[in-house]
Amino acid sequence: MHPQAAGVHHAGTGFAAAPLGSERTDASEHLTPQQYRLMVQETDQARDDAMEAQNLAESAPVRAAAAEAAATRSEQGRREMMERLRHLESLVCGAPRSATPSREEQGLWRRQRRKIK
């Protein structure tokens, strides 16, 4: 343990060191009431901000899982619509289409259709 922390007397000085914790003075003794209120408000705001950050951090995985589930449902819906489109096209055109989606269906590029005269 540090000699000052133990309250050891320093030889030849006539000074007995106080424990380290008592060296600090209470800051509230030197504050005006307005400064004290401001300090309390800042402390409360810091606590509120920390609690909000903790709540956001705790809910982030839940929100991420919900977003992933929504994306999965959306993708499944898109696939079902493409299957329906293929079925309707086979009924209208009379020929079954390939099971592999075209680049246009995949959204990779758009193709303009030409009118046949």
35-85: pLDDT as tens digits: 999 999 999 999 999 999 999 999 999 999 999 999 999 999 999 999 999
The residue type of 38 is L
Better pLDDT: 78 or 2: 78
Better pLDDT: 32 or 20: 32
The CA-atom distances, in angstroms, between 32 and each of 29, 42, 44, 45, 105 are 8, 15, 18, 20, 72
Average pLDDT, the chain: 76
Judge contact between 69 and 76, C-beta under 8 A: no
pLDDT at 115 over 70: no
pTM of the full predicted structure? 0.40
Reduced to 3 states, what is the DSSP secondary structure of residue 60? Answer: helix
